[in-house]
Amino acid sequence: MSVQALTFLIVGLSFALYIGIAIWSRAGSTKDFYVAGGGVPPVMNGMATAADWMSAASFISMAGIISFVGYDGSVYLMGWTGGYVLLALCIAPYLRKFGKFTVPDFIGERYYSQTARVVAVVCAIFICFTYIAGQMRGVGVVFSRFLEVEVDTGVYIGMAVVFFYAVLGGMKGITYTQVAQYCVLIFAFMVPAIFISVMMTGHVIPQIGFGSTVLDAAGNDTGVYLLNKLDGLSTQLGFNEYTEGAKSTIDVFAITAALMVGTAGLPHVIVRFFTVPKVKDARTSTGWALVFIAILYTTVPAVSVFSRVNMIETINGADGQGVAHATAPSWIKNWEQTGLIKWNDKNGDGKMFYSKGKITDPASSNEMSVDRDIMVLATPEIASLPAWVIALVAAGGLAAALSTSAGLLLVISTSVSHDLLKKNFMPDISDKKELMYARTAAAVGIVIAGYFGINPPGFVAAVVAFAFGLAASSLFPAIVMGIFSKRMNKEGAIAGMVLGLGFTAAYIIYFKFVNPAANVPDNWLFGISPEGIGMVGMIVNFVVALVVSKMTAEVPDEVQEMVESIRFPKGAGEASGH
């Protein structure tokens, strides 16, 4: 069977599975829709959390960006992994003890203010729409290549699938669908990684192959370590050494910190810990999720190096002089059709050549434009793996993007129906009507998300990094101070969230949309890039909140008592969810 036929088959079967699960686990109440009834077993919740967490940015884009920028790309790996540990240890059990449906629900109750709730809703929606833009971009990239449709059409198909199981099943449907999606995406990521590790290094385990010597075409050990080989190729082509970083120390620190604390403030991840029966189960499920996440995250550096070496050698040829376009490998021609790889024959010799342009003959400088987001998806084709592996990777990429999209849409819908309508404007609406408004909000959210997928503001990992920065500068400080500071009042929390989010959003918008030409280190505040500015926004939030709280009224006694009870979750049973 052809790659396209196998892709239709495998993707079609996976979609049928997701939709079947959504029908089986249809939400019948708001508690089912918001928190899956609060009865998901810890291991399954850990698997669903891992799928929710490992979005298109993790599956598709992270290996791609590390593949292209090398050492500097490790900030994404460190930040996202460290952030999940921070979330598991410092936030998840306490929020589970509180027992509300959403993050804005927690902030509204903790800060005894409907205004605080509304500000948190705005922050959550802003974050989710920024994040979901990256997911829909990932869906479009996968469909455009493997199903040979336009990127726009691919986004429409993804919207339809997510609409069906997110709107119908709510959190209950999403949870069990994400368990299936985790199985698909981890299998799809690991199979080609193992194949290529064996082919290049002779090791079955990619993590070991990453630090091993490479084999020649005959399967003999060359004695050259894989990373040393890539460093040599990189410097020959005018790039920095792969294992050397070009970013400043302050920017690396800022991006890593923004990603870490942003992770701990992401509403679609936090809500997963409301779906288990007890606080103990929340702790257990975070441990399982970390195990499931680690399988992919420890493999990403290896895949990045494998794909980079293979890409350079197939484009530049065995002799390093370039490959004639007429005889170019099929993977290049396949991806050229999507517009995600472009060739500009600068010297008119009919040969493709990939470099940074710092080679002896300026006329033969870089002639290839390769989109970073294709690297994981193209890796099986570059390595000439079987067609079924290529199709499997397509299904995995879609599973990663759709699982996170569904979680984000649920946050948007619950923020509107539960936090804005039920808790503010329509306190007397019935459970049935609230559920209807939740589904309507999800449907509207999908339409807006589709627009962002068709008109993305950047490549997947960068767009997602902005979402983390916004979460770091807005919700994270409010949540942490809400749990660990009895003295933080509503005025301080509101002022901190507004100014933290406003500062970070303005910085990102200016450098990415208003004046992108100025987006260079010399113009950055303290030398911190837009991807890392969330750390500064977080500091602004904390400082403003503390100053304002000192100047305004004290927190009511009953709220201080509530905070005290949140901080000691031991022995807590099932929360009411009301």
pLDDT, one tens digit per residue, over 12-36 is: 888 787 777 767 766 555 555 555 4
253 vs 419, more confident: 253
Sign of CA dihedral 354, 360, 364, 366: positive
- 556 within 8 A of 112, measured Cβ to Cβ: yes
One domain for residues 139 and 259: yes
Q: Which of 36-40, 222-226, 559-563 has the lowest mean pLDDT?
A: 36-40
461 vs 516, more confident: 516
For residue range 470-502, list pLDDT tens digits in order: 888 888 899 889 888 888 999 999 999 999 989
393, part of any domain: yes
The pLDDT mean for the chain works out to 79
Place of tokens 């699982």: 403
pLDDT in the model for residue 494: 92
Distance CA 104, CA 301 (A): 36
Does pLDDT of 360 surpass 50?
Answer: no
The one-letter code for the residue type at 265 is G
Does pLDDT of 413 surpass 90?
Answer: no
What value does the mean pLDDT take over residues 117-141? 77
Q: Which of 417-431, 459-473, 479-493, 553-567 has the lowest mean pLDDT?
A: 459-473
One domain for residues 492 and 361: no
Q: Which of 16-30, 190-204, 343-357 has the lowest mean pLDDT?
A: 16-30
The percent of residues in the chain predicted with pLDDT above 90, rounded, is: 11
Residue 465: both structure tokens together: 């990094």
Does pLDDT of 549 surpass 90?
Answer: yes
311, part of any domain: no
pLDDT in the model for residue 539: 94
0.85 exceeded by the pTM?
no
One domain for residues 488 and 509: yes
Comparing CA positions, the residue from 44, 179, 100 lying closest to residue 414 is 100
Does pLDDT of 572 surpass 50?
Answer: no
- Where does 455-524 have alpha helices with state H? 460-473, 475-484, 490-509
380 vs 416, more confident: 380
- 329 within 8 A of 314, measured Cβ to Cβ: yes
One domain for residues 444 and 369: no
576, part of any domain: no
Does pLDDT of 569 surpass 50?
Answer: no
One domain for residues 192 and 257: yes
Which residues partner with 387 through β-bridges? none
One domain for residues 282 and 330: no
273, part of any domain: yes
One domain for residues 240 and 352: no
Comparing CA positions, the residue from 60, 145, 44 lying closest to residue 400 is 60
One domain for residues 369 and 396: no
SS (H, E, C) 338-405: CCCEEECCCCCCCEECCCCCCCCCHHHCCCEEECHHHHHHHHHHHCCCCHHHHHHHHHHHHHHHHHHH
Q: CATH number, domain at 67?
A: 1.20.1730.10
Distance CA 430, CA 33 (A): 14
Q: Can you give the length of the chain in residues?
A: 578
C-alpha count within 13 angstroms, C-beta hemisphere, residue 262? 35
SS (H, E, C) 140-158: HHHHHHHCCCCHHHHHHHH
The residues, ordered by sequence, that sit 6+ positions from 192 with a Cβ below 8 Å of its Cβ are 303, 379, 380, 383, 385, 389, 392, 393
C-alpha count within 13 angstroms, C-beta hemisphere, residue 467? 30
| Among candidate residues 334, 350, 377, the one where a domain is terminated | 377
For residue range 526-542, list pLDDT tens digits in order: 889 888 898 999 999 99
394, part of any domain: yes
What value does the mean pLDDT take over residues 205-232? 88
Comparing CA positions, the residue from 122, 128, 127, 129 lying closest to residue 498 is 122
State the total domains in the chain.
2
- Domain span at residue 331 reads 319-377
| Among candidate residues 348, 377, 406, the one where a domain is terminated | 377
DSSP conformation letters of 521-538: GGGSGGG--TTTTHHHHH
One domain for residues 324 and 417: no
Place of tokens 């101070």: 481
Comparing CA positions, the residue from 379, 373, 352, 376 lying closest to residue 364 is 352
131, part of any domain: yes
What value does the mean pLDDT take over residues 374-397? 84
End-to-end alpha-carbon separation of the chain, Å? 53
One domain for residues 255 and 346: no
What value does the mean pLDDT take over residues 313-327? 80
Residue 101's pLDDT band, with cuts at 50, 70 and 90, is low
531, part of any domain: yes
44, part of any domain: yes
pLDDT in the model for residue 464: 65
Q: Which of 17-31, 374-388, 413-427 has the lowest mean pLDDT?
A: 17-31
173 vs 162, more confident: 162
Chain-centroid distance of CA 160 in Å reads 21
| Among candidate residues 337, 360, 377, the one where a domain is terminated | 377
Q: Which of 24-28, 243-247, 266-270, 481-485 has the lowest mean pLDDT?
A: 24-28
One domain for residues 279 and 406: yes
One domain for residues 335 and 214: no
By three-state DSSP, how is residue 223 classified?
Answer: strand
Comparing CA positions, the residue from 351, 349, 307 lying closest to residue 331 is 307
pLDDT in the model for residue 30: 54
Does pLDDT of 131 surpass 90?
Answer: no
pLDDT in the model for residue 38: 52
**Angle (CA) 195 201 207, round 5°:** 75
234 vs 89, more confident: 234
Element containing residue 57 per DSSP (H, E):
none
